Structure 1
Amino acid sequence: MKPDSRYWQHCLDALDVSPFFAALDLPVKQEILELFTYEKASKRDTRISEGDNQAFYLVVSGRAKVSVYHPETGREHIMSLLGQGDCYDVIPLLDGEPREAVLTALDDIEYLTTPLSTARKWLFDHPEFNKTFLPYLGEQMSEMAAQIEDLALYDTESRLAHLILRHITSNAPVHGLKLINDLSQETLAAMIGSVRVVVGRNFQKWKEEGILHDGKGPWSVHNLQALIDKTGRNIEI
């Protein structure tokens, strides 16, 4: 992207709220932005990463999901959600080995992309970037560890409650309940290793118990402590 692009400032604003780039000085942000290409995708578009697992992405606006699929049944597991300022994929920046995952737009989305080789070279040429890169990588690894713990140790109701609380308690500016509170029950189920009917049953139960707000449009948490109790863990808000 060139500084005279009509999208230059718009994309620079996305870097300003990204936990991956926000702490960098303006000249450094401008340098990295020149390495990216600006792209758009429509809601439900899977072509963001289609045929290209050697690229690095940054969301400018909208949301995307990162999914893996069973090769025979087609069953989906959503590994993470990406919002404004979020990046994918961070781990291959270290080992050069891309993950087999599919990026799907959940909204009409704008994003930046650059080859992994370009991003890796820039990273290694600027070791001062580690002050930002390492904490972001740690956050991603913690999220993966939480998913593994949930799937191995907790039932569906606990996993669903914990998913919601992780979005409530996140401090990163690009995260929050707004990332998930208008998603379908089928999508939420794919995030916790369950199915739509089970998530729907839990939602109905929580509405009857006054935990979730029972109104039209996006749902909201009405009784936070009761939701915490559903996780079966000691969690402080």
Structure 2
Amino acid sequence: MAKSARNEFDPQAFLAKVGDGKTVLIFHKNEAVFSQGDAADTVFYIQKGRVKVVVLSEQGKEAVVGIFEPGQFFGEGCLNGHPLRISTTTALEDCVITAITKTAMLAVLHAEPKFSELFMSYLLSRNSRIEEDLIDQLFNSSEKRLARLLLLLANFGKGGSPQPIKVHVSQETLAEMIGTTRSRVSFFMNKFRKLGFISYNGEIEVHNSLLNAVLHDKPQIQRD
């Protein structure tokens, strides 16, 4: 007999509650969730807040390689046999994060098709984003890369209304993410504001005109 609706597995409810091999943690702004070189034995899921992922080279140079937001997993490399963390993840704001041990994660992936579907959807989406980022770095100007990053950070929707970037991201961080200098980012941000693509009202607001400029490759956004 089929399970009743009340007994059906709910992935979101599973991720929101403490259970076997699963804890809900609070991280404050600028607090590290894990550091590069730490043992990798846990997968994390963001309930609230955003985190940034930073990689440190052997020469001591840092690079921001991603920003994750609510509804996303990170640290899943442990499922693929990575014994150590290859990056440092830090809270950009106060965060509520579910930590799931590798053992518990593998068990629920095997036992619950709905959870497996949710996780697979995330992995496919993440893979597509990585491919898009690579193409962006190879073929687009730093100005266009900044425009795309602002649209992604603002979760720009279909409504066309200004979308605020609700977390403070410094120009240094933006520069690291698109592979340019802070001074270039400052120049482009001022240009975007003058063109009406973005505005400042305590936080950055991204306008529909920026999306149109990127999609239609308008001449206001130049190639390097």
Fold conserved between structures, TM > 0.5: yes
State the one-letter code of the partner of 1:71. Answer: E
How far apart, CA to CA, are the structure 1 residues paired with 2:91 and 2:186?
A: 23
TM-align CA RMSD: 2.9
How far apart, CA to CA, are the structure 1 residues paired with 2:57 and 2:113?
A: 38
State the one-letter code of the partner of 1:45. Answer: E
The 1:26–1:142 alpha-carbon spacing in structure 2 relative to 1, beyond 3 Å, is: same
> Is the 2:55–2:88 Cα contact (8 Å) retained in structure 1?
yes
> Is the 1:81–1:179 Cα contact (8 Å) retained in structure 2?
no
Q: Which of 110, 113, 119 lines up with 2:96 in the alignment?
A: 110
1:186 corresponds to which residue?
Answer: 172
How far apart, CA to CA, are the structure 2 residues paired with 1:131 and 1:142?
A: 16
1:55 corresponds to which residue?
Answer: 42
2:62 corresponds to which residue?
Answer: 75
Per the TM alignment, residue 44 of structure 1 is displaced from its structure 2 partner at its CA by 0.9
The 1:180–1:230 alpha-carbon spacing in structure 2 relative to 1, beyond 3 Å, is: farther
Per the TM alignment, residue 210 of structure 1 is displaced from its structure 2 partner at its CA by 2.3
What is the DSSP-based 3-state SS (H/G/I as helix, E as strand, rest coil) of the residue aligned with 2:52?
strand
Per the TM alignment, residue 27 of structure 1 is displaced from its structure 2 partner at its CA by 5.4
After superposition, the C-alpha distances for 1:181-226 in whole angstroms (9 at most, x for unaligned) are 631111212221222111111111122222222x342122342323
The 1:30–1:167 alpha-carbon spacing in structure 2 relative to 1, beyond 3 Å, is: closer
1:160 corresponds to which residue?
Answer: 146
Per the TM alignment, residue 120 of structure 1 is displaced from its structure 2 partner at its CA by 1.6
1:217 corresponds to which residue?
Answer: 202
Q: Given the two structures, how large is their TM-score scaled by the length of structure 2?
A: 0.75
State the one-letter code of the partner of 1:76. Answer: A
State the one-letter code of the partner of 1:97. Answer: H
Report how many aligned residue pairs link the two structures: 201
Q: Which residues of structure 2 form unaligned runs of 5+?
A: 1-6, 220-224
How far apart, CA to CA, are the structure 2 residues paired with 1:177 and 1:202?
A: 18
State the one-letter code of the partner of 1:49. Answer: F
Per the TM alignment, residue 112 of structure 1 is displaced from its structure 2 partner at its CA by 1.4
After superposition, the C-alpha distances for 1:162-188 in whole angstroms (9 at most, x for unaligned) are 2223345667xxxx9555663111121
Q: Which residues of structure 1 form unaligned runs of 5+?
A: 1-23, 233-237
What is the DSSP-based 3-state SS (H/G/I as helix, E as strand, rest coil) of the residue aligned with 1:182?
coil
How far apart, CA to CA, are the structure 2 residues paired with 1:202 and 1:103?
A: 27
